[in-house]
Amino acid sequence: MTQTPLSSAPQRVRLGTRGSPLALAQAHEVAASLRAASGGAFEAEIVTFTTTGDQLTTERLINSGGKGLFTRELDDSLSRGDIDIAVHSLKDVPSLLPEGQFFAAFPAREDPRDGFVSHIAATLRDLPAGARLGTASLRREAQALALRPDLEVVTFRGNVQTRMRKLEEGLADATFLAMAGLSRLGHAGKARPIPLEDMLPAAAQGIIGVVARENAAADLRAALARLNVAASEAAATAERAFLAQLDGSCRTPIAAHLFDEGSTWRLTGEVLSPKGEQRWRAEATCRKDASLARLAALGREVAGEILESAQGQLPVFGDER
């Protein structure tokens, strides 16, 4: 009588992530998707990191190195081979990955909108004169002050839970949180979504980036590729190309979003002055079946229009705190 051979044990994949509740929720989402996409051939072991950015609670990020502070420890670990893949909130990832690394997948995008949270007003417009707005983002600060220059902006740093606690403690009258993070944590009902056209989000907001080494095993690369969603990849490509062309960093209020308009993509991007007194906005379209190269060109095209409007002199100040 012939016996059915036992199935081989799943291969272990060391998945690196920041240790915040949101980052862990994203990591578990990717781990479950990888297991399903590989038919159980791969099993992720989650390895958590406390990044330099996580340790900064009051200081401006730019004073300590900028946006890469949220990825550097994971980048180094991936390059050394201590982990096999890294999972990031894509809006935290610098324009260029370290040498030898690539984006293996962009899973389905979550809600890209910003959310307004306040115990005293339903919208930003409804806040009383001189109200205190807590935010950790120069972009959100500039966009809010463009509409409400009377507001007092106070610095809010920390993860979703920390910022919600600060609001409860009365350190501010209102704040903004990304709807993507709230949704992934099951707290979407705590904020009022702001229409994209009213508040253009950060480039790649709501997208997860899964990064691997270029020399990763072919079977792992193939399994990760099954997690990729074409619309997420299109948005990531166009929005990050826009950011890169502007040399976007924590120093400049920049926003961008790729809108799905049926048969076409429309990329809208903007740059603001620190207090929102000036705003440079541009947009362009391409066919929905455009290649990734064309989408990257779209991002550069929109950025070029803004640079031309600003005569090449974009404002640089502050940071995403």
pLDDT-derived band at 320, boundaries 50, 70, 90: very low
- 21-37 vs 218-225: helix axis angle to the nearest 10? 110
If asked whether residues 301 and 267 sit together in one domain, one would say yes
If asked whether residues 104 and 219 sit together in one domain, one would say yes
The reply to whether 321 falls in a domain is no
Instruction: Say whether pLDDT at 7 is over 90.
Output: no
The reply to whether 142 falls in a domain is yes
If asked whether residues 215 and 156 sit together in one domain, one would say no
The reply to whether 277 falls in a domain is yes
92 belongs to the catalytic site:
yes
Query: What range does the domain containing 137 cover?
Result: 114-193
If asked whether residues 47 and 155 sit together in one domain, one would say no
Q: What is the pLDDT of residues 265-318, one digit of tens each?
A: 999 999 999 889 999 999 999 999 999 999 999 999 999 999 999 886 776 554
Cα distances (Å, whole numbers) of residue 186 to 46, 67, 122, 189, 205: 21, 26, 20, 8, 17
User: Any idea which of 56-65, 135-144, 236-245 has the lowest mean pLDDT?
Assistant: 56-65
If asked whether residues 236 and 158 sit together in one domain, one would say no
* Number of domains observed in the structure of the chain: 3
If asked whether residues 21 and 53 sit together in one domain, one would say yes
Among residues 75, 84, 92, 319, the one annotated as catalytic is 92
What is the residue-averaged pLDDT of the chain? 90
- 230-245 vs 292-309: helix axis angle to the nearest 10? 30
Predicted pLDDT at 250: 53
pLDDT-derived band at 321, boundaries 50, 70, 90: very low
The reply to whether 318 falls in a domain is no
If asked whether residues 130 and 254 sit together in one domain, one would say no
What whole-number percentage of the chain has pLDDT above 90? 76
- How many other CB atoms sit within 10 Å of the CB of residue 306? 21
Predicted pLDDT at 1: 43
The span from the CA of 91 to the CA of 69, in Å, is: 12
Predicted pLDDT at 2: 43
The reply to whether 198 falls in a domain is no
Two structure tokens written together for 300: 């550069």
Q: What is the pLDDT of residues 150-181, one digit of tens each?
A: 999 998 877 788 888 999 999 999 999 999 99
The reply to whether 202 falls in a domain is no
Q: What is the pLDDT of residues 31-76, one digit of tens each?
A: 999 999 999 999 999 999 986 666 555 554 554 455 676 788 999 9
> SS3 of 54, please?
helix
The span from the CA of 188 to the CA of 180, in Å, is: 8
If asked whether residues 91 and 224 sit together in one domain, one would say yes
- Cβ partners under 8 Å of residue 117, min gap 6: 164, 167, 174, 175, 176, 177, 190, 191, 192
If asked whether residues 42 and 170 sit together in one domain, one would say no
In sequence order, what E strands does the chain have?
11-18, 42-49, 85-89, 101-105, 114-118, 132-135, 152-155, 174-178, 192-193, 208-213, 254-260, 264-272, 279-287
If asked whether residues 102 and 125 sit together in one domain, one would say no
The reply to whether 166 falls in a domain is yes
Q: What is the pLDDT of residues 73-125, one digit of tens each?
A: 999 999 999 999 999 999 989 889 999 999 999 999 999 999 999 999 999 99
The reply to whether 200 falls in a domain is no
If asked whether residues 93 and 79 sit together in one domain, one would say yes
Two structure tokens written together for 285: 């379209």
CATH of the domain at 15: 3.40.190.10
CA quadruple 209, 185, 20, 42: dihedral, nearest 10 = -50
Q: What is the pLDDT of residues 255-270, one digit of tens each?
A: 999 999 999 999 999 9
If asked whether residues 95 and 121 sit together in one domain, one would say no
